Amino acid sequence: MKTNFIQLSAFFTLVSTIAFAQEQDSTRTKTIEEVVVSDTKFAQSKEKSGKIIEKITAKDLESKKGQSLANVLSQVAGVEVNGNQSGTGKNIEYYIRGGRSRQVLIMIDGVPMTDASGITLQYDLRLLPVDQIESIEILKGASSTLYGSGAATGVINITLKKSAKKDIAGQAYFHLGTQNTAEDRKGYPQEFNQGFSVNGTKGNVSYITSLNSTETKGISEAAGIDFESDYFSRVNALQKIDIKATNRLSFDAYLNYDRLKSTFDAGAFQDESANVSLSEQVRFGFSPKFKYNKGEFNLVTGFNNLERKYSTFSSWSGVVNSSYYKSRNVSMDAFNKYQFSNQFFVVVGTQFQFLDMLEDTAFESIANTAAKFNSIDPYATIVYNSDFGLNVNAGTRLNMHSIYGNHFTWNINPSYQFKNVPLKLISSYSTAYITPSLYQLYSPYGNLDLTPEENVTLEAGFETFIFNKKLIFNTVAFYREEKNRFEYFTDMSTWESKYINNSNVVMAKGVETTLVYQPISTVKFNANYTFTQVEEDQNRLIPKHKVNVSIDLALTKRLNWNTQYQYIDARTDLYYDASFTRFDVVLKSYQLLNSIVSFEVLPNKMTLFGSVTNLFNKDFTEVAGYSTRGRNFKLGLNLKF
């Protein structure tokens, strides 16, 4: 009864607030055409896209002050970020449409990110602070035609912040917050986030320099009574420079350093104070662009060097073992857009990637002189936007790999926008592939006969927008198959272990629905629902039902309030104890309510904010055997000049 009363009261409060705001400001809503790049690599109107591309803008990130990148992504339809409710140092996994992290490609400013020394090549998103991000696009479905290996269930396309138009500008921030589980009541801060950036444009040169750091302590990674608190520390430095040589020719270059250090426990329900991890990453690259009468040529390059060191206490030997991993990734993507007419253009490109790795542990060593491969992928995409509502995006890619040979992928994505009815129908059939990792090829358990994992996605849906685009509603149903997935196999007769391709087909299906309603400029309501069904042996930690609701209110010109509700359905999980006994468990569903209030003390100069997460201090389990966050508070100061 009490819960129903709270929900009913919240509903009437929302309705009353919207009605009042509508009466006070019924003429301020402006319709701005949204632009996306993820489905063509070039900017085009979102209306002409045959995909439902989720875009998180700078304004959206502003309303979610103090949240991590994992928190922000977890609120997107079809996306589950496991670990975002755990201690800060807990590794995170990101699942799109029932797939795993290895099936999601992370892009930063057009460069594919990967850890070549990892077993599955997945990139650690904890390395990137949300404060460096300008916008994020999430392209769901098999997308290897444009983006190559790893883009099997989706692409998370991240754009870092851009320079201001004036000679010099800058910003600085300082945030502090508590670190509590549901059982804790610590009122003093144990999370500190700070940073600054200086940027601007002088003539034809634009620049941005930023430094960010995070330190947290207060939550044990493993769940248990009287376990010691684990700490997490991150430092990020970024330098970007853009040169506009002529009206047609420009150059972008960047240099980035990331350092992440944390302590970690021995496993589920297993405390350990001696385990320490350190990751250091250096990225640099440049991207010339040349525009001509009917098109544009881009070259996007990137070099990534990532080193990871671990000190791990062994309960068997009683000593601390050291492990060292190093990976390098070189990427060059040259692509050209040629506009035959206002309705028809072609994107043609070639992508080159080189990966190598080195591993040195107490148990095995892998030399980077042997553990390396490269691939060259020519690809082409055609885009047709008719004047009667039909839009078609179709393409193909040839993956030429130095180990397993050649592999084709292709996609077709027709959509239809009705002229006199606010309705767009979308559909697509697309394929994707995942390259075996260097570890799966060259480790003592490696197998050079591995072939790429293959994914196929079929989707269909619609999008409608009414009230002068103040209300947008879309629904997409998808069906996905994956085969030849990589598995670790042990022959029980010989006890020989190695990685193999499993020929069995794994199926996933689901529905994603999103509703956005902005009756006026000061009120925005956003809700989404995701249904995901994966075969039982592959559905670990993937909720069948997930709901997100967000409300943004500009109470005054300076005072803003945002609240977020999230429902996560029950999930299956498993863990191993210290004796390596396996336990299969079902994690109960949970609900969370978060709220943020920000006040602009000085217009365009100084903003204060306060936030509370897990408002009702729900005690829940996100990952079996690991701690989760209870009610926590955060205060922040943001300055601009």
Per DSSP, the residues of 25-38 read -SS-------EE-T
pLDDT for the residue numbered 536: 87
Place of tokens 């260097």: 438
CA distance 128 to 386: 40
Measured CA to CA in angstroms, residue 290 lies from 138, 162, 333, 364, 511 at distances of 27, 19, 14, 48, 41
Return the closest-CA partner of residue 327 out of 486, 405, 442, 213.
442
Length of the chain in terms of residues written: 641
Q: What is the DSSP string of 575-635?
A: EE-TT--EEEEEEPPEEEEEEEEEEEEETTTEEEEEEEESTT-----SSTTB----SEEEE
Q: Decide which of 2.60.120.560, 3.50.50.60, 2.60.120.260, 2.40.170.20 is the CATH code for 31-271+280-640.
A: 2.40.170.20
Rounded Cα gap, residues 275 and 264, in angstroms:
6
Write down the pLDDT at residue 33: 62
Token pair of 208, please? 């941005």
Q: How far apart are CA 17 and CA 6, in angstroms?
A: 16
In the chain, the N- to C-terminal Cα span, in Å, equals 50
Concatenating the DSSP letter of every residue in 100-130 gives -GGGEEEEETTEEE--TTSSS----GGGS-G
- Nearest C-alpha neighbor of 455 from the set 473, 433, 423, 428: 433
Q: For position 6, what pLDDT does the model report?
A: 35
**pLDDT score for 19:** 37
Which two tokens mark 576? 């191993």
- Burial of residue 325, with CB atoms counted within 10 A of its CB: 0-12 exposed, 13-18 middle, 19 or more buried: buried
Burial of 405 by CB count in 10 Å (0-12 exposed, 13-18 middle, 19+ buried)? exposed
Whose structure tokens read 């769901």?
Answer: 140
pTM over 0.85: yes
DSSP H or E segment with residue 10: helix 2-24
In order along the chain (641 residues), what is the average pLDDT of each group of 10 residues? 37 36 40 77 88 91 89 94 91 92 94 93 90 94 95 95 91 96 94 96 95 96 94 97 95 96 96 96 97 96 97 88 96 97 96 97 92 97 95 97 96 94 96 96 95 96 92 97 94 90 95 96 96 92 97 95 97 92 96 97 95 97 96 96 89
pLDDT score recorded for residue 32: 52
